[in-house]
Structure 1
Amino acid sequence: MLKQFFILCSGADTNILDNCSNGEQNKYAGIGATVFFTALMATIAASYALYTVFDNLYTSIGFGLVWGLLIFNLDRYIVSTIKKRNSFLDELLQAAPRIFLAVIIAVVISKPLELKIFEKEINQVLLEQKNDLTLANQNQIAQQFNPKIAELEGQILGLQNEIDAKETEVNALYDTFITEAEGTSGSMKLGKGPVYKEKREKHDTALAELQQLKTDNKAKITTLENEIIALQGDYKANVSESQPIIDNFDGLMARVTALGTLPWLPSFFIFLLFLAIETSPIIAKLLSPKGEYDYKLEDQETVIKSWVSQQVAERQLLVKTDNDINNKVYTEIADEEEVMNYKRKKARELMQHQADAFLKKQKGVL
């Protein structure tokens, strides 16, 4: 039962192969087993690759089965269409396009399995890439908010400098009226005279202005600080909203790209393994001698080819003979007087009808 199933997978004509030896049947059963297991590996590889895309087990298995059946059909077609010839060079030229197609299939099958085999290494590469993307994303978002925050901080610094300058002025006026009272500067008279009172009034006026300036600037500074806090909140919100995109940066394309950054030699050996599996049925048919099945298949095909060639030749001869007879008949009829008179009569009637139609058309134009 299993043998018959693998023979069916090989694409061989079971009606012919049933009449062949066991050795010939085993050869095609081996070829069919290779085709079947290649399709099985393709199903597993495609299911894993699609799972990284859809993140759904049942969907991935469903599409994986479809892909496996497609590969199975292609491999079965490739093997079944290779015919044994009398020249190895003719067989090689016949198999060349099929080998090229087998290489493409091997690449497609091996890549998802490489992603699974080197999953830990790929995860490490993706982690490094995510960290770089996170820092780059934070810097890009910061470039949108930092200029405005710096501008607001500059305004706060300017307001604080105004307060500091006014405080320096008030302190200087304070020292002036104190030293005036002590008699160490100004009028150099001890006591609180008119000059002292004048300087004291200037100090008190400046002190009142300082208090008002502090009140006004404190309110402005508070407003500016609230704007800075709001901008910082917007910055954190933007970072939080964009971070999930970076965290999900582990799809199929990202993993394939990460795989490309790893050393190529291990991946190349895996590719060679699947290439050997994929091309083994073709190579086996090329290297194997022309067997009993091949002779019987050639006999069956040549019988049909000969019958078709014979039918085509007979039809061509029939057409040629019929044309020769028709030419001879029409040549003999052309010399008969009765036919000439009849043609002349009909030609005269046709010319009269044309003249009448032309006259009628001209009258309509006038």
Structure 2
Amino acid sequence: MVQQFFILCSGADTFILKTCSQGEQNKYAGIGATVFFTALMAFIASSYALYTVFDNVYTATFFGLIWGLLIFNLDRFIVSTIKKRNNFGNELLQAAPRLVLAIIIAVVISKPLEMKIFEKEINQVLLEQKNEMTLTNKNQLALQYTPNIEKLNTAIGVLKSEITFKEAETNALYTTYITEAEGTSGTLKLGKGPVYEEKREKHDAALAELQQLKESNSEKIIAIENQISTLNAEYSDVVKDSQPVIDGFDGLMARINALNELPWWPSFFIFLLFLAIETSPIIAKLLSPKGTYDIKLDEEESMVNTWARQKIQQREQMLLADTALNEKIYNEIKREEEVYAYKKKKAEELLKLQADAFKGIQVKQL
């Protein structure tokens, strides 16, 4: 039962193969088993690859099954259409397009399985790429907010410097009137005289201005700090909203690119393994000698070709015979029509003569 199933997978003519030896049947059962397991590997590989795209087991399994059946049909077609010839060069030329197709199929099958085998390494590469993308994204978004924030911080610095400058001025006036009272500067008279009062009034006025400046600038600084807080909040929200895009950067193409970042030789040998599996039925067909099945298949095809040529020749001879017979028949009919026309013409002439004679007799009687 299993052998018959694998023979069916090989695409061989089961009716002819049943008349061959057991060894010949085993050979084609082995070829069919290779075709079947290659399609099975294609189903597994494509299902995993599609799972990374759809993130749904049932969808990936459904389309993976379709892909596996497609690969099975292609491999079965490739193997079944290679015919054994008496010249190896002709056989190789016949198999060349099929070998190219087998290489393409091997690449398609091996890549998803490579991604599964090296999944941990690929995840590490993707993590590094995501971290780099996160930093780049933050820096790019910061370029939209940093200039405004820096301007606002500069404005805060200007307001604070105004207060600092006013404080220094007020402190200088304080020192002036204190030293005036002590007699160490100014008039150099000890006590609180008119000059002291004048300087004290200037200090008090400057102190009042300083207090008012602090209040007004403090309000401005608070308002500016609120603007900075708003911009920082907007920046944080934008970074947060864009982060899921970076976190979702693990699709099929991203994983293929990450796989290419890894050392090439493990992937290359896995590809060679699947290439060997995919091309093994074709190579087996090319290297195996012409067996009983091939001889009987050639005989069957030769019988069909001979029968077809014989039928074509018979139809051509029938056409020639029918054409000659029809020409003969129509030529005879044509000659009979000529005799009929001649007789008709003479009869008409005779009737005319009889009418003329009858007319002459009638004229004489008058």
**Band the TM-score falls in, shorter-chain normalisation:** 0.7 to 0.9
Tell me which amino acid in the other structure corresponds to 2:311. Answer: Q
**Count of residue pairs brought into register by the alignment:** 339
Q: Deviations over 1:178-237 (max 9, x none)?
A: 222222222233222222222211111111111100000000000011111111111111
Amino acid at match of 2:222: T
Residue of structure 1 equivalent to 2:35: 35
Distance 1:242 1:78 in 2: 49
1:312 positional shift = 3.0
For the residue of structure 2 that corresponds to 1:173, the secondary structure is helix
Distance 2:290 2:61 in 1: 40
Structure 1 runs of 4+ with >6 Å offset: 320-335
Which runs of structure 2 are paired with 1:251-330 in the superposition (5 Å)?
Answer: 251-316=251-316
Which deviates the most, 50-59 or 95-104? 50-59
AA aligned opposite 1:310: Q
Counterpart of 2:163 in structure 1 is: 163
Query: Which structure 2 residues correspond to residues 8-23 of structure 1 after superposition, within 5 A?
Result: 8-23=8-23
How far apart are the structure 2 equivalents of 1:329 and 1:96?
58
RMSD value over aligned CA atoms? 2.3
Decide whether aligned partners of structure 1 residues 23 and 208 sit closer, same or farther in structure 2, where only a CA change above 3 A counts.
Answer: same
**Structure 2 length normalisation: TM-score?**
0.86
1:304 deviates by 1.5
Q: Which structure 1 segments of 5+ residues have no match?
A: 339-366
The 5-angstrom pairing of residues 135-146 of structure 1 reads: 135-146=135-146
Partner of 2:63: 63
Q: Distance in 2 between matches of 1:262 and 1:194?
A: 89
Could you tell me which residue of structure 2 aligns to residue 74 of structure 1?
74
Query: How far off its partner does 1:317 sit?
Result: 5.2
Cα deviation, 1:72-91, whole Å, max 9, x if unaligned, reads 11100100001111111111
Partners of 1:331 and 1:261 in 2: how far apart? 88
Q: How has the CA–CA distance of structure 1 residues 164 and 326 changed in structure 2, closer, same or farther, with 3 Å as cutoff?
A: farther
**What SS does the aligned partner of 2:187 have?**
coil
Q: Single out whichever of 298-307 and 87-96 deviates more from structure 2.
A: 298-307
Moved more, 65-74 or 192-201: 192-201
Give 3-state SS (helix, strand or coil) of 1:249's partner. Answer: coil
245-254 or 102-111, which moves further after superposition?
245-254
Query: Quick one: structure 1 residues 222 and 296, their matched pair in 2 at CA, closer, same or farther if it must change by over 3 Å?
Result: same
Label 1:221 to 1:301 Cα distance change in 2 as closer, same or farther (>3 A).
Answer: same
**Structure 1 length-normalised TM:** 0.86
Aligned-partner Cα distance in 1 for 2:43–2:331: 72
CA apart distance, 1:301: 1.1
* Corresponding letter in the other structure for 1:87: N
Letter aligned with residue 124 of structure 2: Q
After superposition, the Cα gap between the structure-2 partners of 1:321 and 1:176, relative to the gap in structure 1 and judged at 3 Å, is farther
d(CA) in 1 for partners of 2:220, 2:41 = 71
- Shift of residue 329 of structure 1? 9.7
Q: Does 1:6 align with 2:16?
A: no
Q: Does 1:54 find its partner at 2:54?
A: yes
- Cα gap change, 1:233/1:322 in structure 2, threshold over 3 Å: closer, same or farther? same
Q: Partner letter of residue 161 of structure 1?
A: S
CA-CA distance at 1:58 after TM superposition: 1.9
CA distance in 2, matches of 1:149, 1:306: 92
Q: Which residue of 1 aligns with 2:236?
A: 236
Q: Aligned in 2, Cα 1:174/1:330: closer, same or farther, shift over 3 Å?
A: farther
C-alpha distance in structure 2 between counterparts of 1:172 and 1:52, whole Å: 74
Counterpart-to-counterpart distance in 2, 1:165 and 1:67: 79
1:104 alignment partner AA: I
Aligned to 2:206: 206
Compared with structure 1, are the counterparts of its residues 173 and 299 closer, same or farther at alpha carbon in structure 2 (3 Å cutoff)? same
Structure 1 residue 318, shift from structure 2 partner: 5.4
CA distance in 2, matches of 1:180, 1:277: 106
Change (3 A) 1:210 1:327: farther
2: CA distance, partners of 1:200 / 1:323: 143
In structure 2, distance between residues paired with 1:250 and 1:237:
23
State how far apart, in whole Å, the 2-side matches of 1:324 and 1:199 are.
147
3-state SS in 1 of match to 2:250: coil
Amino acid at match of 1:66: I
Q: d(CA) in 2 for partners of 1:324 and 1:190? A: 158
**CA shift digits 1:273-313 (9 cap, x unpaired):** 11111111111111111111111111111122122223334
Q: Residue deviations 1:121-167, cap 9 Å, x none?
A: 11111111111111111111111111111110000000000001111
Partner in structure 1 of residue 128 of structure 2: 128
C-alpha distance in 2 between matches for 1:320 and 1:238? 88
Query: Partners of 2:132 and 2:76 in 1: how far apart?
Result: 47
1:99 aligns to what? 99
In the TM superposition, what is the alpha-carbon distance from 1:324 to its structure 2 partner? 7.6
